[in-house]
């Protein structure tokens, strides 16, 4: 029997790798087996298509291509130009953006490119102009001093980490928190929702240079039209980081006021979360910021990753197909089915439900910390991550929440019935887990007890749930 193209491709690749370092080939094979067996509810993960994966494993990886299309610092970049232009073209068409910069290696890089583009656009700084045109070696001590002073104390207003914002939106441990004087807006304690009047108030008081919207753990839509009005009212540049929900924008589930592209001055994203592409980042903007954004290299980035840009072009082409809209809608339908299943069984959810791809369970309702819940679920074959809830009493390490998302399971084809079973499994584990104590009798935020027999039963049920939904059904590694 002849093998299909995917199986042949991956088998041959592993055979070639095995001849050099068999342990790497084994680990790659083991990763596929693990992914096939796990009920993956990590909201930021997905499964890229075989075409996307294969586009990354080739000689594009060998090529240096600093610069932009047609203006490279290296010779012989004509084929890199082709794939970079294709990726940008697909991104512009897909999202209706005037300009797309597809070089960022990750979401955080995309944000840094955007921040520097905004600074260069908004702050009058001769020293920054000098640094940008690659005269870094010519910069004197006085220039560096001027650069710091000229850029000094620029302000950013973003969503707080515990309300679901991202650490690149100005939090101290991240470089963004060192570049900017940051203040954050949270959510209404009663509803868990963004209160736009409070955001407007904070903007009026703080007068930020940049207003950032976007999140990693907020289960609702954001009205980007209102956010833009707030930004305009204080003369801020409005940036949206759609890293998590880009797939829902691409699939036209988020339209009108909820589509960031027509409302923001600049939009950043990852390509590997709900968008289902390769690991990477991207920046979209209008013509006003395009030149500054294209200076991402050398300002922030070194050589682009041409093999990843090739894979971005493939994944974006896939996202432009009509069936991607169906996928995006099913992601949200599944998240809502999961939320309803959990609520019906008595779980406490932040904001009481979801409008997007993720659900945030407040596990204090089960008397647990996020850390205890995460581990107990993992013991039971359910992969999800702990996450802070608004005003979290347990802080960012132990937390009080579990974040679950549906992009990955939706790619496998699971639907509403399976989501209800998943809710049942999660509720069973969390309601049967009891918090542990430290040696001195005080309550522990990490220890817990769960009957191993129950964990095993749930693991079995979780893997049974997946048997009808094979991952990469066309890939047989033999």
Ligand X SMILES: *Cc1c(COP(=O)(O)O)cnc(C)c1O
3-class DSSP state of 267: strand
Closest separation between CB of residue 108 and ligand X, Å? 4
Query: Of these, 162, 241, 294, 362, which contacts ligand X (CB under 6 A)?
Result: 241
Task: Tell me which residue has its CB nearest to ligand X.
Answer: 107
Query: Of these, 49, 160, 182, 216, which contacts ligand X (CB under 6 A)?
Result: 216
Under the criterion CB under 6 A, does residue 306 sit at the interface with ligand X? Answer: no
Query: Of these, 125, 270, 354, 364, which contacts ligand X (CB under 6 A)?
Result: 270
Q: What does the alpha-carbon distance between residue 108 and residue 272 come to, in Å, rounded to a whole number?
A: 13
Q: Which of residues 101-130 bind ligand X (CB under 6 A)?
A: 106-108
Q: What does the alpha-carbon distance between residue 398 and residue 368 come to, in Å, rounded to a whole number?
A: 10
Between 180 and 215, name the residue whose CB sits nearer to ligand X. Answer: 215
Query: Of these, 90, 166, 276, 312, which contacts ligand X (CB under 6 A)?
Result: 166
Q: Which two tokens stand for residue 196?
A: 């736009």
Q: Which two tokens stand for residue 154?
A: 């620029």
Contact (Cβ atoms closer than 8 angstroms) between residue 171 and residue 160: no
CB-based contacts of 148, cutoff 8 Å, min separation 6: none
Contact (Cβ atoms closer than 8 angstroms) between residue 430 and residue 368: yes
Query: Of these, 243, 349, 419, 426, which contacts ligand X (CB under 6 A)?
Result: 243
Is 36 assigned a catalytic role? Answer: no
Under the criterion CB under 6 A, does residue 283 sit at the interface with ligand X? Answer: no
Query: Of these, 244, 265, 312, 412, which contacts ligand X (CB under 6 A)?
Result: 244
Is 379 assigned a catalytic role? Answer: no
37, 45, 66, 288: the catalytic one is: 66
Q: What does the alpha-carbon distance between residue 313 and residue 69 come to, in Å, rounded to a whole number?
A: 15
Q: Which two tokens stand for residue 10?
A: 């991956």
Closest separation between CB of residue 308 and ligand X, Å? 11
Under the criterion CB under 6 A, does residue 277 sit at the interface with ligand X? Answer: no
DSSP state of 138: G
Closest separation between CB of residue 244 and ligand X, Å? 5
3-class DSSP state of 384: coil
Contact (Cβ atoms closer than 8 angstroms) between residue 47 and residue 473: no
Under the criterion CB under 6 A, does residue 357 sit at the interface with ligand X? Answer: no
- Residues in contact with ligand X, counted by CB under 6 A, come to a total of 14
6, 84, 109, 241: the catalytic one is: 241
DSSP state of 272: S
Between 273 and 445, name the residue whose CB sits nearer to ligand X. Answer: 273
Q: Which two tokens stand for residue 339?
A: 């939320």
Smallest CA-to-CA distance from 265 within 225, 228, 296, 230 is with: 228
Is 270 assigned a catalytic role? Answer: yes
Q: Which of residues 29-68 bind ligand X (CB under 6 A)?
A: 44
Is 241 assigned a catalytic role? Answer: yes
* Chain-centroid distance, C-alpha 50: 20
In the complex, the residues that contact ligand X under the rule CB under 6 A are 44, 106-108, 166, 168, 214-216, 241, 243-244, 270, 281
Residues acting as catalytic residues = 64, 66, 241, 270, 273, 279
């Amino acid at each position: 029997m002849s093998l299909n193209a995917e199986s042949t491709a991956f088998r041959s690749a592993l055979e070639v790798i095995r001849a050099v370092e068999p342990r790497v080939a084994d680990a790659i094979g083991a990763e596929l087996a693990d992914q096939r067996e796990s009920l993956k509810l990590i909201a930021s993960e997905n499964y890229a298509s075989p075409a996307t994966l294969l586009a990354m494993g080739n000689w594009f990886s060998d090529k240096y291509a600093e610069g932009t299309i047609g203006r490279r610092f290296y010779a012989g970049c004509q084929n890199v130009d082709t794939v970079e232009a294709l990726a940008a073209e697909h991104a512009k068409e897909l999202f209706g953006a005037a300009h797309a910069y597809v070089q960022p290696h990750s979401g955080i890089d995309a944000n840094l490119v955007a921040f520097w583009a905004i600074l260069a656009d908004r702050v009058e700084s001769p020293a920054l102009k000098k640094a940008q045109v690659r005269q870094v070696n010519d910069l004197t001590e006085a220039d560096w001093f001027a650069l710091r002073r000229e850029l000094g104390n620029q302000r950013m207003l973003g969503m707080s980490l515990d309300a679901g914002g991202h650490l690149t939106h100005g939090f101290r441990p991240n470089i963004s928190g060192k570049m900017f004087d940051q203040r954050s807006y949270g959510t209404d304690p009663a509803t868990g929702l963004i209160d736009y009047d409070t955001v407007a108030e904070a903007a009026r008081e703080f007068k930020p240079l940049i207003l950032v919207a976007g999140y990693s753990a907020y289960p609702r839509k954001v009205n980007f039209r209102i956010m833009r009005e707030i930004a305009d009212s204080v003369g801020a540049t409005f940036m949206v980081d759609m890293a998590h929900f880009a797939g829902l924008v691409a699939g036209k589930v988020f339209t009108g006021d909820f589509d960031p592209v027509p409302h923001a001055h600049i939009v950043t994203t990852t390509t590997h979360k709900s968008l289902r592409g390769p690991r990477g980042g991207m920046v979209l903007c209008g013509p006003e910021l395009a030149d500054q954004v294209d200076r991402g290299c050398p300002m922030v980035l070194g050589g682009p990753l041409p093999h990843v840009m090739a894979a971005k072009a493939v994944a974006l082409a896939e996202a432009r197909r009509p069936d991607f809209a169906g996928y995006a809608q099913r992601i949200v339908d599944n998240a809502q089915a999961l939320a309803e299943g959990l609520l019906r069984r008595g779980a406490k959810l932040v904001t009481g439900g979801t409008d997007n791809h993720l659900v945030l369970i407040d596990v204090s309702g089960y008397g647990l910390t996020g850390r205890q819940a995460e581990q107990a679920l993992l013991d039971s074959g359910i992969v999800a991550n702990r996450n802070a809830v608004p005003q979290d009493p347990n802080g960012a390490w132990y937390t009080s929440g579990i974040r679950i998302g549906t992009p990955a399971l939706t790619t496998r084809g699971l639907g509403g019935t399976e989501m209800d079973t998943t809710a049942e499994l999660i509720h069973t584990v969390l309601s049967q887990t009891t918090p542990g104590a430290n040696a001195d009798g005080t309550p522990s935020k990490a220890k817990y007890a769960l009957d191993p027999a129950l964990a095993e039963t749930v693991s079995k049920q979780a893997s049974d749930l997946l048997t009808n939904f094979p991952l990469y059904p066309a890939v047989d590694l033999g």
